[in-house]
Chains A and B, each alone.
Chain A
Amino acid sequence: MEKLVAKIAALLFVLSIISTAFFWLFLSDRGGLNETGEQAAALFISENYQKGDTVFPLSDWDLGFTRYLDSKVSFLSLRFHYYSAEQLKNSGRGGKRFFLISDKKGVIADILHSKKLNLLKLQAVGNGEVALVEPEEKLAPVLLDFSADIMKARRVYFSDKNGENVRDCVANDVWRCSAREWNHIGFHRAIMGGISQDAVWAHPLSRKILHIVFAVPKGAVTMKLNTAFLETAYRNAEGNPIEVTLLVDGKEAFTYINQNENRLFSRTISLPLTAQEVELQFFVESDGARHFVFNGFMEGR
């Protein structure tokens, strides 16, 4: 038995030497855009890029082309394959477009159908291809986007649960709530529900309610709210959940507990025609590493 094992091991060892030399000399860098492709893809994107567009490399690790981009290209998102057609449609609100980059030719054509995208331009680049696409169904821009319009909030403040000890946050580049850097309410790009989304950083304080008040834009009939913990928060099993409440003109519309887990919590409500103001409230017993974000919007018909 030992002899047989030794002989087989010797044979496998010799094969592993051949396989190792061959793989690391000839195969390990087989994927990815080549240098020519990187430069051509970057040129294509730089020439066609408009503010609000998103660059999606189909391989998350193949970012060499970014070195050659024009510095005006301001957003790139990873995890394209995590996005559903619906999520892409929402990401493309207001005429936003996407650049797709592949290290293989013919791949993008297959994606268009499954992700419900229209092809605007396609170009072969080196060993791959780059395309400019947009969602098949175009949605109008929302009337108020909580993340993009966070600085349009009427008021942001903390208070005790009984409404006392009010402390206002001050509008700057973000809503600054104290000298501590993390204690602010402001735009953040976060992984929510597995994909990268515009969001609002809203780390709460222990036993305080964070109030964020928005005026309801004229014509708004629906409101959507998404809340989530970031990875640094939910990996701590002992971390507290966050109590989320929405008030419409001072009356509670809904309340729920955002559990301490890797999950997106969502609520959609119809707004009364007379609604003037919505107030988001977030409460936590203990704020240790409660890295919490939300996003959402109010839209018309």
Chain B
Amino acid sequence: MKLQKLDRKDIFLLSVTMLFIWFFLFYSGYLIGLVRDEGFYGHAAKEMARWFDYLFSSWSNGELFKPFSQPVIDRYFRYNNEHPAVIKELFGFSVYIFHNKLQLLEFIPSIRLVAALFGALTAGMIYLFGRLFFNRETAIAAPLLFFTMPHIFFHAHLACFDMPVLFFWSATLLFYLVHLVKRTWTSGITPALLLGVGLGVKHNMFFMPILLLLVHVVAYGLSYRSLQKNYRGFKGFVLSVPPVFYLFVVVSLPLYYILWPWLWYDPWSRFLGYMAFHTQHVNYTNYYFGQELTRAPFPFSFPWGMTFFTTPLPQLILFIAGAIWLGIKSVSLKIKATEREIWLQLSVAIFFPILLIALPSVPIFGGIKHWFTGYPLLLTVGVFVVLHGIKLSLPKRRFSVGLAIMTLALVALIPLNIKFARHGAAFFNQLIGGGQGAANSEMQRNFWGYDILDLTEKLNETAPKNARLFIAGYAEGLNMDAFYYLRDAGVIRRDIRPTNNIAESDFAFFFYEKQNESVLYSIFRYYGTVKPLAITVVDGVYYSGLYRRRSK
């Protein structure tokens, strides 16, 4: 199998795509409210920014190693140690430079700058995959179609780990596939570095080398008969293992360790504590066709159904087309063993995250963000298949028709993206009837208490001085840190005080999630009215509300 070559035009298009996506994401950040997890990671970013401050001041005093001593590491890296540090370090560095030192950005944009950066990197990675493995048209269309999925648009703004790990998952896979084609030590360096850094982003990445090796073993077994003699037997197998696996051990693991200073001291117990957090992770209740999913066993169909109904129809067709095409290629006997291994590898790595969540015993940690790591490459394959189909159907017109149809698709996606620009996590496609159909089917309506931007204007204009605001922290609402960041950013007036006790509050946010309806009833009871001051609505569907205690 030969990879397509990049030329100057590609470098230009790649750069333009990345820049465009970065601008698109960074400058539309005001559309998306702060999700509760950003409260935690914002706090961690501040800790990291303090560490960078300490680091540079220590270095300027000639104390080169003090910032890496155990007391210092424990002090700055203890918070949120259930997640590795790479992204928090980047958030912190951005806060340190752009917010604290240069004062170019407010706090929230300074952490979301990193999110936009990963959006741009993801766009670039998709372009590269499309160009290297397929053609330029695919490379141009796929990133744009990827970011016009409302759930992706939403997550790409958040200062969280989900888009970064999506990037590292897909990019490691992409460069591993390149390595499979080239089979050189130098081509193994990039995937090894990506895996090392990716491990420092989120634990999902631990599955990657295991999957790669397993698929290699399967592919090796399937092609055993056609192998040359020196590749047979145990020695032959060792010889067949791509060099990158050795680099995973000598490059990726040390890099992971270096990037997470929390593990430097007492590494084993800290690593076990980290693993225990994730293996014993709580389930987040979700509604799925009226079923309240609180405890295992969860329906196998959950992530499949959610993908089916939360992906805009054009992209869903691309997913299905990509999946079928990959399935055919993965078992095709007409292609060479290496190429077959590439498609098989791609199929397994794309579908593994969704298969994992589909297992009845695996808790549901949240929405699609926990399995969308496979989306970008699957979508890209789908774009190629559809463009190929257009070329086959209209052979004389070719290139321009394909791109024209992709452009039409982007135009058709504008209305739904405008409607859900502020409510991306609430998007459902027309196969279930859109937002209304999903609400009628009692699907989880929204997530993570971010949906306040349509409410705060009324709050700020109405609330008396020092009013107390119920933020629903225990019911998937805002957390305290997120509240304070919003207040510091001027989104919520400075004198308004947060509380998680409805009884003592004057105003209340309510974020509709079916399992939290009792919170709404408590608001009615304590406030003596069901009349909201403001509500957020898309296509007539209620998502959240602002309530005020009725004066006696």
**Chain A residues within 8 Å of B, Cβ to Cβ:** 1-3, 5-14, 16-21, 23-25, 27-33, 55, 59-64, 66-67, 69-79, 173, 181, 187-191, 196, 230-232, 234-237, 262
Q: Does B283 lie within 8 Å of A235, measured CB to CB?
A: yes
Q: Does B430 lie within 8 Å of A27, measured CB to CB?
A: yes
**Chain A contacts for B411, CB-based, 8 A:** 21
Q: Is B62 an interface residue (CB 8 A)?
A: no
A21 touches which of B285, B415, B435 (Cβ 8 Å): B415
Q: Does A231 lie within 8 Å of B294, measured CB to CB?
A: yes
**Chain A contacts for B550, CB-based, 8 A:** 71-72
Q: Does A29 lie within 8 Å of B436, measured CB to CB?
A: yes
In the complex, the 8 A-B pairs of residues with the closest C-beta atoms, listed nearest first:
A10-B389, A189-B521, A32-B540, A6-B389, A9-B321, A235-B294, A61-B439, A21-B412
Q: Does A61 lie within 8 Å of B386, measured CB to CB?
A: no
Complex: A61 Cα to B537 Cα, angstroms: 9
Binary contact readout B297-315 vs A (1 if CB under 8 angstroms, 0 otherwise): 0000000000000001110
Can you list 15 A-B contacts (CB < 8 A)? A5-B321, A5-B385, A6-B325, A7-B389, A7-B392, A17-B409, A19-B430, A28-B539, A32-B539, A63-B535, A63-B545, A69-B531, A72-B550, A189-B518, A234-B295
B interface residue count range (under 10 / 10 to 19 / 20 to 34 / 35 or more): 35 or more
Q: Given A6-B386, A10-B387, list of 16 further CB < 8 A pairs?
A: A6-B321, A9-B324, A10-B389, A13-B321, A17-B409, A24-B415, A28-B430, A28-B434, A31-B436, A61-B541, A71-B529, A74-B530, A76-B530, A189-B521, A234-B295, A235-B285
Q: Does A188 lie within 8 Å of B392, measured CB to CB?
A: no
Q: Is B525 an interface residue (CB 8 A)?
A: yes
Q: Give chain B interface residues in 445-482, CB to chain A under 8 Å.
A: 445, 474
Q: Does A262 lie within 8 Å of B292, measured CB to CB?
A: yes
Q: Does B439 lie within 8 Å of A13, measured CB to CB?
A: no
Q: Is B106 an interface residue (CB 8 A)?
A: no
Q: Give chain B interface residues in 511-552, CB to chain A under 8 Å.
A: 512, 515, 517-518, 520-522, 524-525, 528-532, 534-535, 537, 539-542, 545, 550
**Chain B contacts for A20, CB-based, 8 A:** 312-314, 409, 412-413, 416, 430
A16 touches which of B313, B324, B392, B436 (Cβ 8 Å): B313
B518 touches which of A31, A188, A235 (Cβ 8 Å): A188
Complex: A232 Cα to B283 Cα, angstroms: 11
Binary contact readout B316-348 vs A (1 if CB under 8 angstroms, 0 otherwise): 111011001100110000000000000000000
**Chain B contacts for A231, CB-based, 8 A:** 285, 292, 294, 515
Complex: A11 Cα to B389 Cα, angstroms: 8
Binary contact readout B387-404 vs A (1 if CB under 8 angstroms, 0 otherwise): 111101100000000000
Q: Is B419 an interface residue (CB 8 A)?
A: yes
Indicate whether A24 sits within 8 Å of B314 (C-beta atoms), given known contacts A10-B390, A61-B436, A64-B540.
no
Closest to B502 in A: A181
Q: Is B1 an interface residue (CB 8 A)?
A: no
**Chain B: interface secondary structure?**
helix
**Chain B contacts for A28, CB-based, 8 A:** 416, 419, 430, 434-436, 539
Complex: A61 Cα to B541 Cα, angstroms: 5
Q: Does A8 lie within 8 Å of B540, measured CB to CB?
A: no
A83 CB, nearest partner CB in chain B, Å: 14
Complex: A76 Cα to B328 Cα, angstroms: 54
A31 touches which of B520, B540, B545 (Cβ 8 Å): B540
Binary contact readout B123-163 vs A (1 if CB under 8 angstroms, 0 otherwise): 00000000000000000000000000000000000000000
Q: Does B282 lie within 8 Å of A66, measured CB to CB?
A: no
Complex: A71 Cα to B549 Cα, angstroms: 10
Q: Is B296 an interface residue (CB 8 A)?
A: yes
B475 CB, nearest partner CB in chain A, Å: 8
B164 CB, nearest partner CB in chain A, Å: 29
Q: Is B58 an interface residue (CB 8 A)?
A: no
B317 touches which of A13, A75, A232 (Cβ 8 Å): A13
Complex: A1 Cα to B320 Cα, angstroms: 15
Q: Is B382 an interface residue (CB 8 A)?
A: yes
A12 touches which of B292, B317, B419, B539 (Cβ 8 Å): B317
B434 touches which of A23, A59, A77, A236 (Cβ 8 Å): A23
Q: Does A1 lie within 8 Å of B328, measured CB to CB?
A: yes
**Chain A contacts for B312, CB-based, 8 A:** 20
A60 touches which of B390, B393, B439 (Cβ 8 Å): B439
Q: Is B501 an interface residue (CB 8 A)?
A: yes
Closest to A184 in B: B503
Q: Does A13 lie within 8 Å of B430, measured CB to CB?
A: no
Closest to B417 in A: A24
Indicate whether A6 sits within 8 Å of B283 (C-beta atoms), given known contacts A66-B531, A235-B295.
no
Q: Is B408 an interface residue (CB 8 A)?
A: yes
Q: Does A66 lie within 8 Å of B532, measured CB to CB?
A: yes
Q: Does B317 lie within 8 Å of A72, measured CB to CB?
A: no
Q: Does A191 lie within 8 Å of B518, measured CB to CB?
A: yes
**Chain A contacts for B415, CB-based, 8 A:** 21, 24-25
**Chain B contacts for A235, CB-based, 8 A:** 282-283, 285, 294-295
Q: Does B436 lie within 8 Å of A30, measured CB to CB?
A: yes
Complex: A13 Cα to B130 Cα, angstroms: 18
**Chain A contacts for B318, CB-based, 8 A:** 9, 13
Complex: A96 Cα to B481 Cα, angstroms: 43
Q: Does B393 lie within 8 Å of A189, measured CB to CB?
A: no
Complex: A28 Cα to B428 Cα, angstroms: 10
B302 CB, nearest partner CB in chain A, Å: 15
Closest to B539 in A: A29
**Chain B contacts for A262, CB-based, 8 A:** 292, 294
Q: Does B317 lie within 8 Å of A189, measured CB to CB?
A: no
B388 touches which of A6, A62, A173 (Cβ 8 Å): A6
Q: Does A67 lie within 8 Å of B532, measured CB to CB?
A: yes
**Chain A contacts for B416, CB-based, 8 A:** 20, 24, 28
User: Residue among A12, A75, A173, A237 with the most chain B CB within 10 A?
Assistant: A12
Binary contact readout B252-278 vs A (1 if CB under 8 angstroms, 0 otherwise): 000000000000000000000000000
User: Residue among A20, A73, A196, A235 with the most chain B CB within 10 A?
Assistant: A20
Q: Does B321 lie within 8 Å of A59, measured CB to CB?
A: no
A8 touches which of B389, B436, B445 (Cβ 8 Å): B389
User: Residue among B386, B520, B532 with the most chain A CB within 10 A?
Assistant: B386
Q: Does A73 lie within 8 Å of B529, measured CB to CB?
A: yes
Q: Does B524 lie within 8 Å of A76, measured CB to CB?
A: yes
Q: Does B389 lie within 8 Å of A17, measured CB to CB?
A: no
Q: Does A17 lie within 8 Å of B445, measured CB to CB?
A: no
Q: Does A13 lie within 8 Å of B539, measured CB to CB?
A: no
Q: Is B57 an interface residue (CB 8 A)?
A: no
Q: Does A196 lie within 8 Å of B517, measured CB to CB?
A: yes
Closest to A186 in B: B503
B344 CB, nearest partner CB in chain A, Å: 16
Q: Is B405 an interface residue (CB 8 A)?
A: yes
Complex: A63 Cα to B416 Cα, angstroms: 22
Complex: A234 Cα to B292 Cα, angstroms: 11
**Chain A contacts for B434, CB-based, 8 A:** 23-24, 27-28
Q: Does A19 lie within 8 Å of B313, measured CB to CB?
A: yes
Q: Does A236 lie within 8 Å of B282, measured CB to CB?
A: yes
Closest to A38 in B: B540
Complex: A67 Cα to B208 Cα, angstroms: 51
Indicate whether A72 sits within 8 Å of B419 (C-beta atoms), given known contacts A7-B389, A60-B439, A63-B542.
no
